[in-house]
Amino acid sequence: MNTPFLWHNGRIKPWSEANTHVSTHALHYGSSVFEGERVYATPDGPAYFRLADHTRRLFESAKVYEIEIGYSEAEINAASLELIRANSMKSAYVRPIVFRGAGGLGVLPKDGAPVEVALMAMEWGAYLGEAAERGADVCVSSWHRPAPNTIPSWAKAGGNYLNSQLIGLEARRNGYDEGIALGHNGLLSEGAGENLFLVKRGKLLTPPSSAGILAGITRDTVITLAAELGIPVEERDLPREALYTADEVFMTGSAAEITPVRSVDRKPVGNGKPGPVTRGLQESFFGLFNGSTRDRWGWLSFVHAVVPDREDQEAGIHAHTPHQQPASLGASA
């Protein structure tokens, strides 16, 4: 899964040299924020999809948890492009991550504790494998999403995904591809790692951003493309039974892209096959990368379009390289 190089604390380095200490705060307390991004092979070369939007959300997540990244958004964007060039990749899944490093134990980080920043690029196909084409078999999980004002759902934080692991593990254990969580109020929320859409009588329905969901970038993309295709979209609270009576269901995410759902709790969705609205949105979405859908929104950032002067770029980035040495351990909490 690994590639020759990654970007870590301001430098491109061999994958094997990016190490962290076992006292790293994020390992003990989940103090990390991250993103998942796709680079697509296009007729004009490799291009990130909505890179600036992902980087902006990374910074917003860090702000929620008062994590100082130490680089500007422009520097992270430049490093992201440099990483793909360094690995000579045509397509990739990219994982930026920001985490509190080895600065002593205790729930609250110590003053001056380091923050580490890394970017990893790897080959990664469809997140749910063959389900992306045939349709996924999903279940409604017994695990719910956290209530508002407990864990911020809009922040893409590492700790949030413990809940997702429980949802996904339960689903796989019972023979499903994925699980769907209800919110604290018993209404639909999202999948373990995906946003949720239903089609009913030609209208696209999706739980609102207040339903304990991550405000997904692919979700926003689908809403925008649906408007282009003349498909009405309604963000609204939805009960569990809406899944069983929907004409179509699909899930979205940077890793999952647009994945149709063919059954929920072993009940077929529609005729048990991906429907025309889902297929139309898939065609429009993937058309952004094969050239059949015009990118009117400036969503593509081409890796080889502009190569900044490497020395100037590195000087700017390295000036902010965080301290990496582990501090002495404090009292545990």
Catalytic: 13? no
Q: Tell me the CA distances in angstroms from 126 to 43, 253, 257, 300, one per residue in order.
A: 21, 11, 8, 20
Q: What backbone phi and psi angles, to 5 degrees, belong to 41?
A: -80, 115
d(CA 11, CA 83): 10
106: burial class by Cβ within 10 Å (0-12, 13-18, 19+)?
middle
Radius of gyration of the chain (CA): 21
Please pick, among 13, 90, 110, 156, the residue that the annotation labels catalytic: 156
- b/e per residue, 240-260, with b = 16+ CB within 10 A? eebbeebbbbbbbbbbbbbbb
d(CA 39, CA 85): 12
Residues 6+ apart with CB under 8 A from 46: 39, 40, 84, 89, 90, 91, 92, 302, 303, 304
H or E element, residue 302: strand 300-302
Catalytic residues: 156
